[in-house]
Amino acid sequence: MSKLESHVTVQKRAYYSPPWADVSIIAIAGSSGSGKSSISQAIVRKLNLPWVDSFYKTLTPAQSKLAFANEYDFDSPEAIDFDILVERLRDLKAGKRAEIPVYSFAKHQRLEETTSIYSPHVLILEGIFALYDPRVLDLIDMGIYCEADADTCLSRRILRDVRERGRDVEGCIKQWFGFVKPNFEKYVEPQRKVADLIVPRGIENRVALEMMVQYIERKLFEKSTHHREALSKLEMECKEQPLSERVVVVNETPQLKFMNTILQNIDTDAEDFIFYFDRLASLIIEQALNNVQFKSWDVETPQGNKYAGLVSKGEVSAVICLRGGSAFESALRKTIPDCRTGRLLIQSAYSTGEPELHYIRLPEDIHEHESVLLLDTQMASGGAALMAVQVLVDHGVALDRIVIATYSAGRVGLHRLTTVFPEVTVVVCNILDTQEPRWVEQKYFRC
Amino acid sequence: MSSAPAPTQSVGPEFRSQESKPTATVSVNVDVENVKVLAQTPQLIALLSMIRNKDTDRADFIFYSNRIIRLLVEEGLNHLPVIERNVTTPVGHTYNGLMFQGKICGVSIMRAGEAMEQGLRDCCRSVRIGKILIQRDEETAMPKLFYDKLPEDIAQRWVLLLDPMFATGGSAIMAVDVLKSRGVPEDHILFLNLIASPEGVKNFASKFPRVTVVTAFIDQGLDDKNYIVPGLGDFGDRFYTI
């Protein structure tokens, strides 16, 4: 909060911990060709989780030359950038976004681009030395060691390197006896002792695979239960209080009520619905823009008269909560045609009702924008909105720069949101006492 | 001729303290019934600052004036008669709503008033729009009616009269006279404009006390050439030709 606004009496702030603030990390180690990649990928596929395995150091030119000659030791812990790995894992543990380097085995170097990982509930860390560094061991929740006999490893490795990484057979064999095997005995095998689970026969070991999947599912379910419990606790806490002064309700003029009558009428056809929603959405956006920061601006008119006016303090951007928020897009373009727009997809899990972040694309410098409008058509329990605000906070957006604009919101959801984030402004058209399904976007997009 | 300077105050949402809200010149308070000035929000002031600024190019001038016009039309439509109407919502609740009664049309005073037609159409699709051409007679320096084309049944309609700059009100007075001669009752006329002068507003209200005037801003006054001060220059030129 800026100094100027510190007079605002912040109501008793409730604490909200997003589900990703407590990520479980599962590390899978084992010798090259032991089947750890297959196992990780099988788990990732089954549970739809992100995984990390590209922490090789960028090679110096000399090392790169060795690598192309198959003489660089990728199978030594020296090749792994544990410092970066530990740093990224700590970021993820703290609920922050982490940039994961991408390593190209074909080019033997770290690529310019990175993959960003954000908000996983469970993270699979897979690598020959996943259980090697004691700092990593401190961060993980479960360590798995994959075991396979040497013949199997070598043959798998040759097949993989030739097919996927464009090497020749001689090179692979040279690497195997030069580095892989000695390193295995020296560094890889000792990890067996610190593992929680040892899986023989890799991917063929269906029993082990099932066990791990079940364990992870249980972990996920526990987390989801905790999160939902925390959400409903928040709900109870804020039921009694009046709405925050930062909840701005769009003036209920006769025109507004007339437009609402058309929108709320089940018999309104699609053409009218879209027209009146766009019209009303423009008013909501105009009202939201009244809550961004302005500064004084003296202008001169063509006749040379002075006028003491205002201008927006800085860039105003928008973040659309998909899918509902995109119904605001045409109104947004009419008000700020070149508004930079980020997108988030948060969906409630079908089985648990817990909000989950599925997709995120934000402007790089969003933390520098003067104001960020967060747009959604309906806000029921506020669970998705809480998550959306937390996502913006994790990306460095200050709370008092966030203005949420929505067509309708449940009273309980509004309470919950403004209790957790008292500095956020909410502009809403209709406040509801009961929860409604998301019918607005259904009518607007006609499916 | 120019009167006292316009008031300056801090503008912004209520939850912010005075010190954290920037100050700006706001609309002059004119004690005339039936004059509705848009809420002096920071966003409206910022939009007005854009179109007043001499350095704003034509594309931006058009864009920002359209946004204000849209707000004016939305406010103007609030003054139409309504009737209660309950509807069933898609989730099966009853919504106690309302519908508008009666038919409307727009009448623009050429040429600048035509710039406001888009804003009207953005809110009311397929609205009928009549036109009136009034120009200053060079010999008498008085406004003179050159042309009009109005809907046949205009007497049965509510009329939104469009002219962005309300200086002396000479053209608006003549336009209202034309509308009245076609049978439109005075209280069925809403006059929408962006910037008004206190003199124009008072003069107009003394002639037509029952016409509702909706404006975004009442400026401090008129200069010796009857231009609004501070104003924004010639609206028609800035919108159409400069």
Per-residue pLDDT of A196-228, as tens digits, reads 888 887 667 788 888 888 887 887 778 777 777
Q: What is the pLDDT of residue A4?
A: 37
What are the residues whose beta carbons fall under 8 Å from the beta carbon of A200, sequence distance 6 or more? A147, A148, A208
Q: How far is the alpha carbon of A45 from chain B, nearest alpha carbon, in Å?
A: 37
- Whether chain A has a CB inside 8 Å of the CB on B75: the answer is yes
- Whether chain A has a CB inside 8 Å of the CB on B218: the answer is no
- Whether chain B has a CB inside 8 Å of the CB on A307: the answer is yes
Owning domain of residue B176: 8-241
Instruction: Quote the percentage of chain B above a pLDDT of 90.
Output: 74
- Whether chain B has a CB inside 8 Å of the CB on A264: the answer is yes
Q: What is the mean pLDDT of residues B184-208?
A: 95
Predicted ipTM of the assembly: 0.88
Note whether B74 contacts A425, CB cutoff 8 Å.
no
Q: What is the pLDDT of residue A112?
A: 62
Note whether A261 contacts B227, CB cutoff 8 Å.
no
Note whether B53 contacts A5, CB cutoff 8 Å.
no
Q: Which helix (H) or strand (E) holds B34?
A: none
Strand pairing class (A122-126; A24-30): parallel
What band does A64 get if pLDDT is binned at 50, 70 and 90? Answer: low
Strand pairing class (B157-162; B143-149): unpaired
A190: tokens are: 């000792």
Tens-digit pLDDT profile for residues B148-175: 999 999 999 999 999 999 998 889 999 9
In a domain, B1, yes or no: no
Quick check: A97 pLDDT over 90? no
- Give me the sign of the Cα torsion angle B181, B184, B185, B186: negative
- Whether chain A has a CB inside 8 Å of the CB on B2: the answer is no
Please report how many Cα atoms fall inside a 13 Å half-sphere around the Cα of residue A227, on the Cβ side. Answer: 25
In a domain, B208, yes or no: yes
Q: What is the DSSP string of B55-71?
A: T--HHHHHHHHHHHHHH
Q: What is the mean pLDDT of residues B221-235?
A: 90
- Residue at A338: amino acid letter: D
Q: What is the mean pLDDT of residues A379-395?
A: 85
CB A156 within 8 A of CB A31: no
What DSSP character marks residue B171?
H
CB A204 within 8 A of CB A210: no
In a domain, B2, yes or no: no
Residue of B nearest to A298 (CA): B49
Alpha-carbon distance of A347 to A345, in angstroms, equals: 6
CB A288 within 8 A of CB A373: yes
Strand pairing class (B103-110; B143-149): unpaired
Quick check: A13 pLDDT over 90? no
Q: What is the pLDDT of residue A379?
A: 87
Alpha-carbon distance of A248 to A404, in angstroms, equals: 10
- Out of A267, A301, A308, the one facing B233 most closely (by C-beta) is A301
Quick check: A123 pLDDT over 80? no
Chain B residues within an 8 Å CB radius of A275:
125
Q: What is the pLDDT of residue A66?
A: 55
- Whether chain A has a CB inside 8 Å of the CB on B91: the answer is yes
In a domain, B227, yes or no: yes
Count of Cβ atoms closer than 10 Å to residue A285 Cβ: 24
What DSSP character marks residue B209?
T
In a domain, B199, yes or no: yes
Tens-digit pLDDT profile for residues B60-91: 999 999 999 999 999 999 999 999 999 999 98
A107: tokens are: 């080019």
Q: What is the mean pLDDT of residues A24-49?
A: 75
Between A341 and A217, the higher pLDDT residue: A341
Q: What is the pLDDT of residue A2?
A: 37
Chain B residues within an 8 Å CB radius of A310:
11, 22, 24, 42, 45-46, 49
Number of domains in chain B: 1
Q: What is the pLDDT of residue A8?
A: 35
Catalytic (active-site) positions of B: 136, 140, 234, 237
What band does B129 get if pLDDT is binned at 50, 70 and 90? Answer: very high
Alpha-carbon distance of A301 to B233, in angstroms, equals: 7
What band does A67 get if pLDDT is binned at 50, 70 and 90? Answer: low
CB B45 within 8 A of CB B10: no
Q: What is the mean pLDDT of residues A268-292?
A: 93
Count of Cβ atoms closer than 10 Å to residue B49 Cβ: 24
What band does A254 get if pLDDT is binned at 50, 70 and 90? Answer: very high
- Whether chain A has a CB inside 8 Å of the CB on B64: the answer is no
Q: What is the pLDDT of residue A1?
A: 35
- Whether chain A has a CB inside 8 Å of the CB on B99: the answer is yes
Q: What is the pLDDT of residue A9?
A: 37
Q: How far is the alpha carbon of B102 from chain A, nearest alpha carbon, in Å?
A: 14
Note whether A275 contacts B125, CB cutoff 8 Å.
yes
- CA of A106: how far to CAs of A59, A67, A101, B194, in Å? 13, 10, 15, 65
Q: What is the 3-state secondary structure (H, E, C) of chain A?
A: CCHHHCCCCCCCCCCCCCHHHHCEEEEEEECCCCCHHHHHHHHHHHHCCCEECCCECCCCHHHHHHHHCCCCCCCCHHHECHHHHHHHHHHHHCCCCEEEEEEECCCCEEEEEEEEECCCCEEEEECCCCCCCHHHHHHCCEEEEEECCHHHHHHHHHHHHHHCCCCCHHHHHHHHHHHHHHHHHHHHHHHHHHCCEEEECHHHCHHHHHHHHHHHHHHHHHHHHHHHHHHHHHHHHHCCCCCCCCEEECCCCHHHHHHHHHHHCCCCCHHHHHHHHHHHHHHHHHHHHCCCCEEEEEEECCCCCEEEEEEECCCEEEEEEECHHHHHHHHHHHHCCCCCEEEEEEEECCCCCCEEEEEEECCCCHHHCCEEEEEEEEECCCHHHHHHHHHHHHCCCCHHHEEEEEEEEEHHHHHHHHHHCCCCEEEEEEEECCCCCCHHHHHHHCC
Chain A residues within an 8 Å CB radius of B76:
none
Chain B residues within an 8 Å CB radius of A276:
none
Quick check: B219 pLDDT over 60? yes
Count of Cβ atoms closer than 10 Å to residue A365 Cβ: 11
Chain B residues within an 8 Å CB radius of A301:
52-54, 230-233
Kindly report the average pLDDT of chain A as a whole number: 80
In a domain, B190, yes or no: yes
- Ordered structural domains, chain A, with CATH: 19-225 (3.40.50.300), 242-445 (3.40.50.2020)
Note whether A309 contacts B45, CB cutoff 8 Å.
yes
List phi, psi (to 5°) of B51.
-80, -20
Tell me which long-range contacts B38-43 makes (C-beta under 8 A, separation of at least 24). B38/B71, B38/B72, B38/B75, B38/B214, B38/B215, B38/B216, B38/B217, B40/B11, B40/B217, B41/A290, B41/B11, B42/A290, B42/A294, B42/A310, B42/B11, B42/B12, B43/A286, B43/A289, B43/A290
What band does A110 get if pLDDT is binned at 50, 70 and 90? Answer: low
Between A39 and A69, the higher pLDDT residue: A39
Between B18 and B175, the higher pLDDT residue: B175
Between B238 and A358, the higher pLDDT residue: B238
Whether the upstream peptide bond of residue B230 has omega within 30° of 0, thus cis, is: yes
The residues with which A25 forms a beta bridge, in sequence order, are A123
Q: What is the pLDDT of residue A349?
A: 65
What band does A10 get if pLDDT is binned at 50, 70 and 90? Answer: very low
- Whether chain A has a CB inside 8 Å of the CB on B238: the answer is yes
Strand pairing class (A142-147; A24-30): parallel
Instruction: Quote the percentage of chain A above a pLDDT of 90.
Output: 29
Quick check: A12 pLDDT over 60? no
What are the residues whose beta carbons fall under 8 Å from the beta carbon of A299, sequence distance 6 or more? A306, A307, A309, B49, B52, B53, B54
- Residue at A117: amino acid letter: I
A303: tokens are: 């006749």
What band does A127 get if pLDDT is binned at 50, 70 and 90? Answer: confident
Question: b/e for A264-281, b at 16 or more Cβ within 10 A?
Answer: bbeebeeeebbbbbbbbb
Kindly report the average pLDDT of chain B as a whole number: 91
CB A355 within 8 A of CB A385: no
Q: What is the mean pLDDT of residues A418-433?
A: 90
Alpha-carbon distance of B184 to B182, in angstroms, equals: 6
3-state class of B131 per DSSP? Answer: strand
Alpha-carbon distance of B83 to A99, in angstroms, equals: 59
Q: What is the pLDDT of residue A44?
A: 72
Chain B residues within an 8 Å CB radius of A10:
none
Q: What is the pLDDT of residue B139?
A: 76
Chain A residues within an 8 Å CB radius of B75:
253, 255
Sequence length of chain A is 447
Q: What is the pLDDT of residue A35?
A: 75
- Whether chain A has a CB inside 8 Å of the CB on B8: the answer is yes
Strand pairing class (B129-136; B143-149): antiparallel
Residue of B nearest to A288 (CA): B43
CB A231 within 8 A of CB B55: no
- Residue at B188: amino acid letter: H
Least confident of A255-259, A292-296, A357-361, A422-426: A357-361
Structure pTM?
0.75
Alpha-carbon distance of B53 to B57, in angstroms, equals: 9
- Out of A286, A294, A305, the one facing B229 most closely (by C-beta) is A305
Tens-digit pLDDT profile for residues A303-313: 999 999 999 99
Note whether A294 contacts B42, CB cutoff 8 Å.
yes
List phi, psi (to 5°) of A407.
-75, -50
Decide: residue A35, CB within 10 A, 0-12 exposed, 13-18 middle, 19+ buried. buried
Q: What is the pLDDT of residue B53?
A: 95
A280: tokens are: 């009303």
Q: What is the pLDDT of residue A3?
A: 36
Quick check: A234 pLDDT over 90? no
What DSSP character marks residue B207?
H
Alpha-carbon distance of A177 to A157, in angstroms, equals: 12
In a domain, B132, yes or no: yes
CB B24 within 8 A of CB A296: yes
What are the residues whose beta carbons fall under 8 Å from the beta carbon of A380, sequence distance 6 or more? A409, A410, A413, A435, A436, A438
Chain B residues within an 8 Å CB radius of A443:
90
Q: What is the pLDDT of residue B182?
A: 95
- Whether chain B has a CB inside 8 Å of the CB on A4: the answer is yes
Q: How far is the alpha carbon of B191 from chain A, nearest alpha carbon, in Å?
A: 17
- Give the CATH number for residue B147: 3.40.50.2020
3-state class of B81 per DSSP? Answer: coil
In a domain, B220, yes or no: yes
Of A39-48, A78-87, B224-233, which has the strongest mean pLDDT?
Answer: B224-233
